[in-house]
């Protein structure tokens, strides 16, 4: 039996017709033809820098490597030949290529395709979208690159090209506006994109705190959405020290699903007035003792929004109390 062209050693043997027909171009070096693909040396293959996937789960790679040791690579990867660098660049199948390295293989079956940059990026993106194993942030980055690659076409055309709804596309893009700690949780798989949707529009400190609460307490989606709705009216909480914020958020969600006993009507009436006066006096003192020039950007945004809501409430109260007799 003749020796494989990939063998590290060479021996003198008799030439055959196959030798005369063999591809001796630079592109063919380190490869061996198969029925539907060719065996290519792993060291002649490299990842595509435009690959949408940026993170690889090492544990899952080890599992795939163990399977490859037992059964080999069952599905060829797809590559393109870069003549200027004399290398094969992966179109899709980088996980299999990485796992084959972990498994100790020297070669991997690959299908060589000649595709344009646009076709290559679309193929990479489509493969990962259909397999649902690309995180939302990597998808958003890939969609932006695809938009640029296609001549900065409208987002509607991008959605049509990759076969997803326009609303879904903008949900993915919205993850890029989340604070970095929340993005990192998405990349690591600790949070899903769906869990972070209700956080959109909240002040950054609240987004980070709610994300931590979701991770630590495993909040159901309905509670996340309810908490986010509550926080849109309580943006003042963003001013709290981060160490105080989580306990406050837990207090907000504690009443969910549980009834709070009501005090007697007369007690409620008297305590209500005391609470209002106390809160207004505390607010007055805070305003008198705080210099607006010392506030940072986030504090200014939160307080401006709070003043807007407070002004509306105060106007309603002044109107309602306008007919009440003044105390002597």
Q: What is the pLDDT of residues 115-138, one digit of tens each?
A: 777 777 777 776 666 555 678 998
Q: Which pLDDT does position 255 carry in this prediction?
A: 55
- Give the count of domains, the chain: 3
For the ranges 41-45, 55-59, 210-214, 302-306, which has the lowest average pLDDT? 302-306
Average pLDDT, whole number, for the chain?
Answer: 78
Residues 122 and 155 in one domain: yes
Task: Read off the CATH number of the domain in which 109 is found.
Answer: 3.90.1530.10
Query: CA 66, CA 38: separation in Å to the nearest integer?
Result: 23
Residue 313 lies in a domain: no
In sequence order, the 6+-apart residues with CB closer than 8 A to the CB of 234 are 252
* % of the chain beyond a pLDDT of 90: 33
Domain that holds residue 161: 116-177
In this predicted model, what pLDDT tens digit does every residue of 287-319 receive, in sequence order?
877 888 887 777 777 778 777 778 777 877 888
Query: CA 195, CA 283: separation in Å to the nearest integer?
Result: 34
Indicate the residue among 84, 114, 144 that finishes a domain: 114
Q: What are phi and psi of 50, to 5 degrees?
A: -95, 5
Residue 320 lies in a domain: no
Instruction: Check pLDDT > 90 for residue 51.
Output: no
In sequence order, the 6+-apart residues with CB closer than 8 A to the CB of 188 are 55
Q: Which tokens hold the place of 217?
A: 């307490």
Q: Which of 2, 69, 15, 7 is nearest to 39 (CA)?
A: 7
DSSP-assigned letter for residue 7: -
Residues 4 and 102 in one domain: yes
Residue 306 lies in a domain: no
Residues 124 and 146 in one domain: yes
Residues 166 and 200 in one domain: no
Q: Which of 33, 36, 59, 94 is catalytic?
A: 94
Residue 51 lies in a domain: yes
Indicate the residue among 228, 253, 278 that finishes a domain: 253
Query: Mapping DSSP to helix (H, G, I), strand (E, B) and coil, where does residue 230 land?
Result: helix
Residues 210 and 229 in one domain: yes
Residue 269 lies in a domain: no
230 versus 11: the higher-pLDDT residue is 230
In this predicted model, what pLDDT tens digit does every residue of 246-285 receive, in sequence order?
888 888 886 544 444 334 343 344 456 666 776 777 777 7
Indicate the residue among 235, 253, 271 that finishes a domain: 253
Residues 52 and 107 in one domain: yes
In this predicted model, what pLDDT tens digit does every residue of 154-163 receive, in sequence order?
999 989 888 8
* % of the chain beyond a pLDDT of 70: 76
Q: Which pLDDT does position 40 carry in this prediction?
A: 94
Q: Which tokens hold the place of 243?
A: 């160490």
Query: CA 239, CA 6: separation in Å to the nearest integer?
Result: 65
For residue 30, give Cα distances in angstroms to 40, 74, 94, 106, 109: 6, 20, 19, 10, 12
Residues 169 and 126 in one domain: yes
77 versus 317: the higher-pLDDT residue is 77
Residue with tokens 């996980």: 95
Residue 275 lies in a domain: no
C-alpha 277: how far from its chain's center?
Answer: 46
Instruction: Check pLDDT > 70 for residue 27.
Output: no
On whether the CB atoms of residues 249 and 220 are closer than 8 A, the answer is no
Residue spans of alpha helices (H) in the chain: 17-21, 58-71, 94-102, 117-131, 136-149, 155-162, 166-174, 180-187, 193-196, 204-217, 221-231, 242-253, 265-289, 297-321
C-alpha 3: how far from its chain's center?
Answer: 48
Residue 308 lies in a domain: no
Predicted model pTM: 0.54
Task: Read off the CATH number of the domain in which 160 is found.
Answer: 1.10.10
Mean pLDDT across 171-184 = 95
On whether the CB atoms of residues 79 and 40 are closer than 8 A, the answer is yes
User: In whole angstroms, how large is the CA radius of gyration of the chain?
Assistant: 31
Based on the residue annotation, tell me whether 94 is a catalytic residue of this protein: yes
Q: Which pLDDT does position 253 carry in this prediction?
A: 80
In this predicted model, what pLDDT tens digit does every residue of 82-118 receive, in sequence order?
888 899 999 888 899 999 999 999 999 999 988 777 7
Q: Which pLDDT does position 264 carry in this prediction?
A: 37
Beta pairing class for 45-46 and 38-41: unpaired
Residues 17 and 98 in one domain: yes
Q: Which pLDDT does position 7 carry in this prediction?
A: 41
Residues 130 and 142 in one domain: yes
202: alpha, beta or left? (left if phi > 0; alpha if psi -120 to 50)? beta
Residues 8 and 52 in one domain: yes
Residues 68 and 138 in one domain: no
On whether the CB atoms of residues 127 and 89 are closer than 8 A, the answer is no
Residues 172 and 214 in one domain: no
Instruction: Check pLDDT > 50 for residue 71.
Output: yes
Residue 47 lies in a domain: yes
Mean pLDDT across 139-154 = 86
């Amino acid at each position: 039996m003749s020796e494989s062209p990939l063998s590290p050693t060479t021996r003198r043997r008799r030439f055959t017709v196959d030798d005369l027909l063999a591809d001796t171009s630079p592109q063919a070096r380190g490869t061996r033809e198969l029925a539907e693909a060719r065996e290519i040396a792993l060291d002649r293959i490299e990842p595509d820098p435009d690959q949408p996937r940026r993170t690889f789960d090492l544990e899952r790679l080890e599992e795939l490597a163990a399977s490859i040791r037992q059964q080999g690579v069952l599905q060829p990867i797809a590559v393109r030949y870069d003549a200027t660098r004399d290398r094969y660049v992966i179109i899709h199948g980088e996980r299999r290529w990485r796992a084959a390295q972990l498994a100790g293989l020297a070669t991997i079956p690959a299908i060589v395709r000649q595709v344009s940059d646009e076709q290559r990026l679309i193929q990479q993106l489509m493969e990962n979208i259909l397999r649902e194993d690309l995180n939302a942030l990597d998808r958003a980055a890939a969609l932006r690159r695809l938009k640029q690659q296609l001549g900065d076409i409208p987002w509607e055309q991008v959605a049509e090209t990759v076969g997803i709804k326009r609303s879904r596309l903008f949900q993915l893009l919205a993850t890029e506006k989340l604070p970095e700690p929340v993005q990192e949780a998405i990349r690591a798989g600790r949070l899903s994109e769906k869990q972070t949707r209700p956080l959109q529009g909240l002040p950054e400190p609240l987004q980070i705190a709610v994300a931590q609460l979701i991770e630590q307490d495993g909040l159901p989606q309905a509670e996340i959405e309810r908490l986010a709705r509550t926080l849109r009216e309580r943006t003042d909480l963003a001013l709290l020290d981060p160490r105080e914020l989580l306990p406050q958020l837990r207090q907000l969600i504690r009443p969910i699903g549980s009834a709070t006993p009501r005090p007697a009507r007369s007690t409620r009436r008297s305590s209500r007035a005391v609470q209002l006066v106390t809160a207004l006096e505390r607010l007055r003192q805070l305003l008198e003792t705080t210099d607006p020039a010392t506030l940072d950007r986030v504090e200014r945004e939160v307080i401006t929004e709070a003043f807007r809501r407070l002004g509306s409430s105060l106007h309603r109260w002044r109107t309602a109390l306008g007919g009440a007799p003044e105390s002597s």
